[in-house]
Chains A and B, each alone.
Chain A
Amino acid sequence: MDIFLQQIINGLVQGSIYALVALGYTMVYGIMGLINFAHGEVVMIGALISITVTSTLAAAGMPLGLAGLFGLVAAMLTCMALGWSLERIAYRPLRGSPRLTPLITAIGMSIVLQNLAMIFWGRNYMTFPPLLPKVNFEFAGTHFTLVQVVIVLLSAALMAGLVFLVYRTKLGMAMRATAQNPAVASLMGVNINRVIASAFVIGSALAAVAGVMVGSYYEIAHYQMGFMLGLKAFTAAVLGGIGNLAGAMAGGILLGIIEALGAGYIGDFTGGFLGSHYQDIFAFVVLIVVLMFKPSGLFGEKTGDRA
């Protein structure tokens, strides 16, 4: 039972990170139907920028906590600029082109970003400076750290903020209208370009935070860290029903928990035949099974065929 609770907690932490990244995928997809494959790389850039800024400032004598805060802000600003440029330079010229064209562009951008990062930061794993003091908590036989608590709380706060933005502000209304029907929304005076750019910028800011979280959780960062993370987050978004905010959040957290439980118990399930290195298949197996029974994801709307 202790292991069970422990894995739920670990899964919740990992899942919060997935959820933040998944939101970026789902916003862009919901509004323009594009799988932004480069989104995972934005997470990676966020993590690496924050390392550089934090360690530079810390080396100059700034207290580590404050330097970390600057690092986080710098990462967010850089990623927002990056997200905005991605949309402006790579995707906007392709609107109205065949469906797979922007997908290939996204893949191209992903390759470009990864290799740029490798040129700037090198091939080696970088140690992430400890931003928060190492405090351990114990509760009902489970252990968790301050970092984990902060990750979960901060993610929850950011998600609440996003929900407020989308459902209570004018920009949010414009975003929802564009997702429903871009042509009509633009007739109603919605500036489509601005809405799409905002989705990219907001998604990228969340990705930057997620990047810093991953970095401080695992205490390392690497130019390839974004790819698998992005993939899992996208899986989470689809699991929840892509284009749906609540779906992305629930999908992310669910995926984190399933992975953690799976890794903890797979040996028992299979009588020791499969070991914990099969952890990565859980995401995909669950996805396939869910989609077989709910073809639009857990929270996706059923889109009926219209004749």
Chain B
Amino acid sequence: MKNWLSPKSMTGIALIAIALIVLPHVVGMGGQAWVRILNFAILYVFLALGLNIVVGFAGLLDLGYIAFYAVGAYTWALLASPHFGLHFPVWAILPIGALMACVFGVLLGSPTLKLRGDYLAIVTLGFGEIIRIFLNNLNSPVNITNGPQGITLIDPVKVGDFSFAGTSQIFGMTMTGPQKYYYLLVALALLVIIINVRLQHSRIGRAWQAIREDEIAAKAVGINTRNIKLLAFAMGASFGGIAGGIFSAMQGFVSPESFSLIESIMVLAMVVLGGMGHIPGVILGAVLLTFLPEVLRYAVTPVQMALFGKILVDPESLRMLVFGLALVLVMRFKPAGLWPSPERSRELSEKPVEVVK
């Protein structure tokens, strides 16, 4: 048990808190675009932690996780936009979105969770694609999702009369929309982190870990592996649903394009690259992989100009190229991720290199 009240950890917590509070203002000096990117980083932390429950804790490879994000996002979009003329309040939509995502999680999980690892992976991948294709095409004969055009003019998060969109004055300070969302997201992310830590060290968390380690032994000690796996799926999905709702409100716009397979893969890459099953590692992975492509976006052109005096290579492909290489290199030199849990890194250093598998 950690001693939260020791002077040393109190100082640490205070420093982190101050850093989190001033961050959007520092980043905001480089333009509000960077605050938005920061917000996306937190949103991805949220998603990565949700997926970490499924992949990291329970060891179930899910390649269609973004589908739950999509379900949450569209739930919000449909319940709070002129599309159907509905404008539900936030305290109603978020739980509905989480519940919807959870239902989809159970729907997908219950028939498929008996499948072995890689079979499950491809089934979840297929599920993610099915959801996206439906979102893309459910504009006729009845217009539900408005098809590829997506849904616009989605309500922002509003608490009473206070809206998180647009600039406003708070305690005499000018705060932009993205900055306000930042604080909301940080608060939610902290909550999610606490829930994750608690889950990991709970009876359910141990059962997940047991299933990951040895499913047969887990059954033999009386764990109903099917239900416990389903629980992991449902929990992960609910987190995805909530993140999707916030995304929808923050952007004011959703379209199926945001929920392609590459997004699922991205979130999985965050989990694995950071350090599967290790909460601080997963957070690191999410933040890094959100910022890296953005930093590259800004860096690639000036660097080319400085080196060659002209733009030789399309900056968009170059930055993705560097991104892909970064994934490969990290896996090559840190196979357990950048910040693995202490046990996992020990496991790797102890195990003699096997020939195959």
Residues of A within 8 A of B (CB): 29, 31-33, 35, 90, 93-105, 107-112, 114-116, 118-119, 123, 178, 182-183, 186, 192, 196, 231, 234-235, 238, 242, 272-275, 277-278, 280-281, 283-285, 287-288, 291-292, 295-297, 303, 305, 307
Kindly identify which residue among B269, B317, B335 contacts A98, using a CB–CB cutoff of 8 Å. B335
Contacts of A242 in B (CB 8 A): 118-119
Contacts of B268 in A (CB 8 A): 100, 104, 107
Q: With A238-B119, A273-B141 as given contacts, are A109 and B331 in contact (CB-CB < 8 Å)?
A: no
Complex Cα spacing A96 to B347, Å: 11
Chain A: CB-nearest residue to B357: A33
Complex Cα spacing A90 to B125, Å: 23
Q: With A95-B355, A182-B356 as given contacts, are A295 and B332 in contact (CB-CB < 8 Å)?
A: no
Tell me the smallest distance from the CB of B280 to a CB of chain A, in Å.
18
- Tell me whether B61 is interfacial, beta carbon within 8 Å: yes
User: B39-47, B86-94, B107-115, B239-247: which lies at the A interface?
Assistant: B107-115
Kindly identify which residue among B216, B269, B313 contacts A305, using a CB–CB cutoff of 8 Å. B216
* A108–B324 touching, CB < 8 Å: yes
- Tell me whether B263 is interfacial, beta carbon within 8 Å: no
* A234–B122 touching, CB < 8 Å: yes
Within 8 A of A (CB), among B121-169: 121-123, 125-127, 129-130, 133-134, 136-137, 140-141
* A115–B355 touching, CB < 8 Å: no
Kindly identify which residue among A108, A182, A186, A281 contacts B327, using a CB–CB cutoff of 8 Å. A108
* B325–A112 touching, CB < 8 Å: yes
- Tell me whether B343 is interfacial, beta carbon within 8 Å: no
- Tell me whether B187 is interfacial, beta carbon within 8 Å: no
Kindly identify which residue among B129, B133, B313, B331 contacts A104, using a CB–CB cutoff of 8 Å. B331
Tell me the smallest distance from the CB of A137 to a CB of chain B, in Å.
34
Kindly identify which residue among A178, A235, A273, A296 contacts B356, using a CB–CB cutoff of 8 Å. A178
Complex Cα spacing A191 to B265, Å: 34
Q: With A32-B357, A275-B137 as given contacts, are A100 and B61 in contact (CB-CB < 8 Å)?
A: yes
- Tell me whether B102 is interfacial, beta carbon within 8 Å: no
Contacts of B111 in A (CB 8 A): 288, 292
Tell me the smallest distance from the CB of A307 to a CB of chain B, in Å.
6
Kindly identify which residue among B115, B321, B355 contacts A119, using a CB–CB cutoff of 8 Å. B321
Contacts of B115 in A (CB 8 A): 291, 295
Contacts of A297 in B (CB 8 A): 119
21 CB contacts below 8 A, A to B, read: A31-B356, A95-B356, A96-B353, A96-B354, A97-B335, A101-B272, A108-B326, A108-B328, A108-B331, A115-B320, A115-B324, A116-B317, A119-B313, A238-B118, A275-B140, A277-B136, A280-B133, A284-B125, A285-B126, A288-B111, A307-B216
Q: With A104-B268, A287-B123 as given contacts, are A186 and B355 in contact (CB-CB < 8 Å)?
A: yes
* B126–A235 touching, CB < 8 Å: yes
- Extra pairs beyond A104-B331, A295-B114 (6, CB < 8 Å): A108-B324, A112-B324, A277-B137, A278-B133, A280-B133, A292-B111
Kindly identify which residue among B121, B133, B328 contacts A112, using a CB–CB cutoff of 8 Å. B328
Complex Cα spacing A305 to B215, Å: 10
Complex Cα spacing A99 to B59, Å: 10
Kindly identify which residue among B55, B121, B136, B327 contacts A111, using a CB–CB cutoff of 8 Å. B327
Chain A: CB-nearest residue to B331: A105
- Tell me whether B336 is interfacial, beta carbon within 8 Å: yes
Chain B: CB-nearest residue to A179: B356
Contacts of A114 in B (CB 8 A): 320
Contacts of A288 in B (CB 8 A): 111-112, 123, 126-127
* B331–A102 touching, CB < 8 Å: yes
* A94–B357 touching, CB < 8 Å: no
Complex Cα spacing A263 to B21, Å: 54
Tell me the smallest distance from the CB of A223 to a CB of chain B, in Å.
9
